[in-house]
Structure 1
Amino acid sequence: MITERQLQILNVIVEDYVELGQPIGSKSIIERHQLPISPATVRNEMKQLEDLQLLEKTHTSSGRIPSERGIRHYVNQLLKSKSLSNKSVNWFDQFHDENQYDVNAMLKWLALEISNRSHYTTVVLGPNKFSRYIFEIHFVRVNPTHLMSVIVFTDGYVEKVHVQVLESLQQEQIEKLMNYLNQHFKQNTLSTMIKTLESLTVSFIDHDFIKKFKHALLTQINDQSEEIFLGGKMHLIDALDVTNVTMIQSILKYLESERIAQFLNETSSDSISVKIGQEINKDLHGISIVSTNYEISGDISGHLAVIGPTAMHYNKVIQLLNHF
């Protein structure tokens, strides 16, 4: 348990370190914040915070920097104390009104816009394909042995699935199957249709084709069950210098792996979630992920996150994500 004065000094050091990017000393704290205490008192309190592992002393300076544990303490206080508004934002409402029938364009724009406003890299996960509701199913014969299924979902998303077929498969059979699927699975989720396909018995088409169609559909969807939209990767490159090469390399590797989607599916919630350093992965240092769920028009939902260094402008990012 730390005192109110120690908490004030910790908050000041975290915020100054985020802004200045260098160790913070007692003289700097008093000059920048006009604290009514002596430098000796500040130094003593900083020593106490260091003993509590909330601050770290660097070898190159007499100042201190916040530890991951110290940043966690700061973030916890921030999440408790802030009165977060649930008002929607005009800049998003206008874009949504103009692009609500093109979900991919909307989510791609959202990732870029949040990145531009936060000045950090942003990840937006599209809705899980298995949970999307089917609007209509079409089959198009590309050539005698190549059939393409076009599945249109109620949110405007389109999935194309390619299936190899026998030349003996007749167009009449294809049309009958298309009508059957639309009759039985329209307004149902893709997951419901896939579960039912295996037990589907119809007289007008060979069951082997239905098995092939299900296999092709599952193979494609399982490769990437959510679309990943990335905004502001250049913010990482712009921040690159000799002091943070390892940290930025870690962020880039994490973004390019499938772990980010898995992590967001496991941790994002309706409230704001902040994970710092080893809370994300035991091998990661210097990275923070601020995430939440989003919902658009009641039928489009997923996860979004802002990713950056542990020295992040948490207040700004939390307020921004809270709109969603």
Structure 2
Amino acid sequence: MTVTAATTPAATAPTAPTSTTLRPRYEGSNICTWIGFKHVNYLVEEAVLDWFRQRGTPARELFEVHGVGVDLVDVDTRILHALHMDDEVTATVTPKPATDGLLRFAVVVEVDRPEGRLKAVTSKVAVALRTDTWHTGAPADPVPDHLAHAVAGAPAAGERVELDAAATQALAQARPGGRGTVTADVPAALRTGTGPAVAWTWRIPYPYCHFTTRAQASGLLRNMEEVVDLFLDAHGVSIRTLLDEQAWIPVVPHSRVTWRGELLLEEVAVTVLEVVHVFKDLTYTARVDTYVHRDGGLEKVATGEITHGYALIDGRTSWSLVPFDERLLTAVRGA
């Protein structure tokens, strides 16, 4: 991902929008040259980080000098037009009023097409400045006044979920090496309805973390993308199956991830994906909740939502949306 933006040498109050020129990472082109939702969100994240740079308070300085980490704690993104490999986009970040101890932003990503400039992505982002609790002996300067309200310590414990001993033990024993273990036998206490679901038990890996031990927003996005992959495979409609048999791919118009607590390096988490709504035969929306094993029980630390449709690949440069067939409807509605 490349960034082109002017930097401001001294901290300034967060009033005016900032504009940043970006390109999506090559890694994000999983199918043909279209950019997946995770890497679209990475563009949003980079634009917000550049807002801090242009205000004279880059994330590195905030951590090294002021002892706070820039944490995206809520990212709610809608994709209006597909982005492609090698696209150059313009991301505008506008601060929004907030009274909840967070910094809030509206992000708009635009791309030029033959028919003109299009609004490709819109996102609402909330940021907390988390006090460093690892390097407790290192001195830290106060943050600039205009950011002071967003400084926060460790979040309060998340919602506790009480399971019977057998269910708790079954999930705990599913602790894996590698990718983890998946079950469609999801305890009722971890569900919000009766839709098809999976529970994935996994270990928080080092690449998902930042500021030494804390999982970050991009880790949640990677987790969401992977649990969707595991859900589809568990219900007989894996991505490769539909690619090979029908040239269909999932497409994402909307995603959201929200922190309720925190995940720490090498903790054991349980992520539950459950389909909560199917709109006609065009899209399905799934809820994604993440829990962590602590003190003999589970604590909810994050929640999210993702909506999928399906597209037929017409060639290397084009695709078209298609209605779900009976096999896919059965998978997302349940028997």
Fold in common (TM above 0.5): no
Does 1 or 2 have the higher relative contact order (CA < 8 Å, sep 6+)? 1
- Which one has a bigger Cα radius of gyration? 1
Using the size of structure 1 for normalisation, the TM-score is 0.24
Name the structure where helix makes up a greater proportion of residues: 1
Bigger share in strand: 2
